[in-house]
Amino acid sequence: MQEKLRASQIWTAVDVLVLSWAGDKIQALLIERGNEPYKGRWALPGGFVEPDESLEQAAARETKEETGIQPGYLEQIRAFGAPDRDPRGRVISVAFLSFVPFDKAKAIAGSDAARVQWFPIDALPTMAFEHAKIISDYAVPQLRAMARCSPALAMMMPSKFTIPNLRKLYETILGEKLNKKHFRQQLYGYGVLEWCNEFFSAGVQRPARLYRISVKMREREWLRAIPRLGRRNRKGGRRKKS
């Protein structure tokens, strides 16, 4: 895409906040911009939407090109369209959330990204455009809302994980301790986890079961059911186990 856009035209772009869970912290994947504007500044992976692709296709393509990671899960945050947000011209950007397992996410800089690096979401560097605001003012509140009713956050976990570690992710997002029994029951109710038939042992503590995202359910099927499950849980109902 040309560096200087025509002033009379409005361009559409996408930005993707790729998140993972590692070191007991939520990690955000950022790129160092290799071109102007903001050359050398850290930013979200992203770029312009091509005429023949959807927003989701553009988000997946740009993430893959710039970081080497193919995002499996994408959820739209919102659109950002301040007239002066991009010094090249009038650009409206649609931001997305993406969750990936850290042990499977092998990031490699590509396209116009000079470098790619994981940063704790609470210790981000100075960023280009309004990307810091996208994270702090919109993505973080959306994560908190999802933590109240959605199992999709489990997609940030490594390929095998314990329920206590998953609960810690949710507690980190919400900033509060969760009831262990209720959290476990709610996860079982969603029906999206399966036991790996393995245990994790640390010191003298009782070994904990290792789980993974269920391979029996296609990703888009259970993610589509999340809003319904969330409403049911807020009313006090509970989904039966399958």
**pTM across the whole model:** 0.85
User: Taking the CB of residue 11, how many other CB atoms lie within 10 A of it?
Assistant: 17
* Distance in angstroms (rounded) separating the CA atoms of residues 63 and 40: 18
- Domains assigned to the chain: 12-122 (3.90.79.10), 149-234 (1.10.10.10)
171-178: long-range contacts (C-beta < 8 A, 24 or more apart)?
172/24, 172/25, 172/26, 173/26, 173/143, 173/144, 173/147, 174/144, 174/147, 174/148
pLDDT at residue 72 in the model: 80
Q: Which of 101, 96, 98, 75 is nearest to 21 (CA)?
A: 101
Per-residue model confidence as pLDDT tens for the chain (242 residues) = 445 556 568 999 999 999 999 999 999 999 999 999 999 999 999 999 999 999 999 999 999 999 999 998 899 999 999 999 999 999 999 999 999 999 999 999 998 899 999 999 999 999 999 999 999 999 999 999 999 988 889 999 999 999 999 999 999 999 999 999 999 988 888 888 899 989 887 766 788 899 998 865 545 555 554 443 333 333 344 444 43
**Helix, strand, coil content of the chain in percent (nearest 5):** 30, 30, 40
